[in-house]
Structure 1
Amino acid sequence: MRNTRKRGQADHSAPIRGVSAPGVAADNTDGGYNAGIAVFSYIVGGIIVWSLIGWGLDYLWGMRWIVLAGALLGAVGGFYLSHMHGLTSSRKNADELHAPSAPSQDGKDSAK
């Protein structure tokens, strides 16, 4: 097959490297403050958007409880999105934080 791409034209079919979830650095390290702001914005944004949708449905259907269900759905959805983007999990290795929890190789207890 013949390459129909013109000279100097970039290949846009390859995935972009260095792009990750909001609040997470490109080298897959913890974003710290940025990750916290991303989680906060997902949750608060979800509450606002779904509360407005619930408010509109309340107005159309003449009910008063759908706005509360929308707010709850928005909070749960925002937390779910932040969890799926890896913003709520710890990025540190377990060995860096705690001593090994498994018994030692020689079978003796290393506690003093």
Structure 2
Amino acid sequence: MRNPKKRGAAGNSNRAHGSSAPGVASENTDGGYNAGMAVFSYIIGGIIVWSLIGWGLDFLWGTRWIVLAGALLGAVGGFYLSHMHGLTSSRKNTGDRPAAGGPSQDGGTNAK
């Protein structure tokens, strides 16, 4: 029986500190590779699943176009899921305030 108070090699050797699940990037890294693989998986998985559904409906109904519509629907759905999970955004704000836009607020005293 394991001792739950003992922290040894078998306890948390495979987990990084601060990570809640395997494969999830910690706060110190940007997770670009993991995010890219997640986007790829969502899109390819959607294409495969919805193409198979379309193929089955084509077989049942004797048509030939539903498999293509299923592939397109799967690609759009995979991109939508990755966008909703925040994986496709390339903009990162530093801090809570985005960069200011428009004319300066100093009254033009720095103009030459």
TM-score normalised by L of structure 1? 0.66
**One-letter amino acid matched to 2:36:** G
Cα pair distance change 1:74/1:19, threshold 3 Å: farther
Answering whether residue 58 of structure 2 is matched by residue 49 of structure 1, we say: no
Instruction: Give runs of aligned pairs for residues 1-112 of structure 1, distance below 5 A.
Output: 18-19=19-20, 25-27=25-27, 30-93=30-93, 100-108=100-108
Cα pair distance change 1:19/1:74, threshold 3 Å: farther
5+ long unaligned stretches in structure 2: 5-17
> How far did residue 76 of structure 1 move?
0.6
Cα pair distance change 1:90/1:66, threshold 3 Å: same
Structure 1 residue ranges (4+ consecutive) displaced by more than 6 angstroms after TM superposition:
109-112
**One-letter amino acid matched to 1:75:** A
> How far did residue 93 of structure 1 move?
1.4
Give per-residue Cα distances to partners, 1:19-65, cap 9 Å, x unaligned: 48x97634396311111111011001100110011001100110001
> How far did residue 105 of structure 1 move?
1.5
Cα pair distance change 1:53/1:65, threshold 3 Å: same
Higher alpha-carbon deviation: 83-92 or 100-109: 100-109
RMSD (CA atoms) = 3.2
Who is 2:12 aligned against? none
**One-letter amino acid matched to 1:71:** A
5+ long unaligned stretches in structure 1: 1-7, 9-16
**One-letter amino acid matched to 1:38:** A
Question: How high is the sequence identity, in percent, across the aligned residues?
Answer: 80
> How far did residue 111 of structure 1 move?
7.8
SS in structure 1 at match of 2:77 = helix
Who is 2:9 aligned against? none
> How many residue pairs are counted as aligned between the two chains?
94
